[in-house]
Each structure stands twice: as structure tokens, then as C-alpha cells.
Amino acid sequence: MIEADVLLRGGVGGNGEPIMAHPPETDSDNTLQEWLKEIVNTDKGIKLDFKSLEAVRPSLELLEHVKQHLRRPVWINADILPGPNGRNAAVDAKGFLDAVTSFFPDVTLSLGWTTGWHPGKHNKGYDWVMVEEMAQILFPSL
């Protein structure tokens, strides 16, 4: 598996071109389109790690154009809930799940929590409330 961090060039409100970058960076010389063009020639699975909701739809449109050429699994990832020492969810849960399932209803989702770690301080771990909140988002009828 090869993981790619994806956001829009210029960050939130950027020009709409998905690029390979990790916040706080907002620019890159690697676009998702170019990366996908190279990936189809490999035998590797991919994990797209979305850093903003705005990057999801244009990225999935690009992925849709190459999906018939991919020979390995595709995982779609985002941090959709705040976790231990995390302040806010990086990506809105409902918006993310609605966008992803509208393009790829059977894709493997890799969902996570934002976290934070502070040296020299007691760092909170995951708790059952966090797990139950994630389960409720994924299985609302439970």
C-alpha cells in the first residue's frame, strides 16, 4: 500500500486542484492526477488520506477516471472525529461519507480521530465515548 495525503492547492478555498501535501503545507509540485497516472502502472494498493472535505469530491472524480486500471485495493481515509487531545475533526463526517459513498459505495473506509500529543504533560488516551461516537456515525441504526 502507498499512502497519499491529499488537499487542495492553496488550502481550504484553494483553486480546486488536488495535490499531494500535508498541512500546514498548501502547495506541492505533485498533483493527485499525476500521482494516479503513475500508480496505475504499479502493483500497489493506495490509501488516499484526505486533509479537507473540499479535496474529496474533485479527488474522487480523478480516481473514478483511473479505477478500471487499478489492480490493488483502494482505501479512503479521513479523520472525522476529535480524539485524544484532538481539537476538532479534520473532515466533516457526514459530508465525507456522503461524498465517498456516492462515488464508491463499496470502497474500504479508513476512518480516524484527530489526536494531539504534548511532551511533559499527561496525554489522554482513547475512551469508550469516542468509540461509541464513531460507531454511531457508521451504524446509526444501532
Helix axes 93-103, 56-66, angle to 10 degrees: 20
Q: What pLDDT sits at residue 13? A: 65
Q: What pLDDT sits at residue 26? A: 83
Beta bridge partners of 78: 50, 111
Q: What pLDDT sits at residue 22? A: 87
For the beta sheet containing 18-20, the strands, ordered from the edge strand earlier in sequence to the opposite edge, are: 18-20, 2-8, 46-50, 74-82, 108-114
**What average pLDDT values come out for the chain (142 residues) when binned by 10 residues?**
93 78 88 96 95 94 94 95 88 96 95 91 92 94 78
Beta bridge partners of 16: none
Q: What pLDDT sits at residue 128? A: 97
Domains and CATH numbers, the chain: 2-138 (3.40.50)
Q: What pLDDT sits at residue 88? A: 84
Cβ within 8 Å of residue 88, ≥6 positions away: 82, 114
